[in-house]
A = this chain, B = another copy of it.
């Protein structure tokens, strides 16, 4: 099913830089497409804040991408904003809006044989139980846990550091004990935060043998790419495939962002959302 033309402008939004892991895959898969990315870095992280505050920030950001930058399709490349504000964003802008939760849950459904899955995410995402609900709708049982130290460890650049490996093992041990106490037999771990793909090699070493790892960033980018038709004839690639905006320090965005995007971010424009 391809419902969108290759020339549609796609807006991608995150509270910070993590969403660039989603954007990286989209850029590879949809080279004809024009992308606009906004990182609301002045107000990050969303993961420790309340639903009301997160919804207000996310709606302002979505309106900027649609009303000011002409986005015709919106990807909420932030688990926290997807979990707590997808309805509010969909009500606030007149374009299709896709979050990362449903594609993540669908990928977990494809991966799991026991039907029991583990989800790790920020505190706000976990408290919303958005993953548990999306998994339940697909017949899965999900056990969710907040891992608030992982985002700071990634941002410190400790993506291959013994301390990070130790923290991951502590969180995973707690997760497995707690899930077992509930009678679950999990065989799949969902990385429910766009920062976590940078820790994937450490997770692969730490999970029990046979456990599959699902990356909701990659799952979302793949799901979005499938919505777009291939160009019918040869199509010129856009001269400037990506415009980036941030609400705080452009320098930091360029420095950290290239790590998530896996290529240089290029020019980033500072934008004031009045927050």
Contact = CB atoms under 8 A, between A and B. Distances in A.
B152 A249 contact: no
A227 to B, nearest CB: 34
A229 interface: no
Contacts of A274: 274-275
Nearest to A273: B275
A74 B248 CA distance: 27
A167 to B, nearest CB: 6
Contacts of A49: 41-42, 248-249
Contacts of A252: 48, 50
A50 B247 CA distance: 10
A50 B248 contact: yes
Interface in A169-209: 170
Contacts of A53: 42, 247-249
A110 to B, nearest CB: 33
Nearest to A146: B156
Contact of A275 (B41, B44, B275): B275
Contact of A148 (B42, B43, B48, B155): B155
Nearest to A42: B53
A160 interface: no
- A interface majority secondary structure: loop
Contact of A43 (B170, B249, B275): B275
A88 interface: no
A95 interface: no
Contacts of A249: 49-50, 53
Interface in A131-158: 148-149, 151-153, 155-156, 158
Interface in A241-260: 247-249, 252
Nearest to A275: B275
Contacts of A248: 49-50, 53
A2 interface: no
A268 to B, nearest CB: 13
Interface string A205-230: 00000000000000000000000000
A166 interface: yes
A156 B149 contact: yes
A92 interface: no
A255 to B, nearest CB: 12
Contact of A166 (B44, B148, B163): B163
The CB with the most chain B CB atoms within 10 A, among A152, A170, A252, is that of: A152
5 contacts: A42-B43, A43-B43, A149-B152, A149-B156, A163-B170
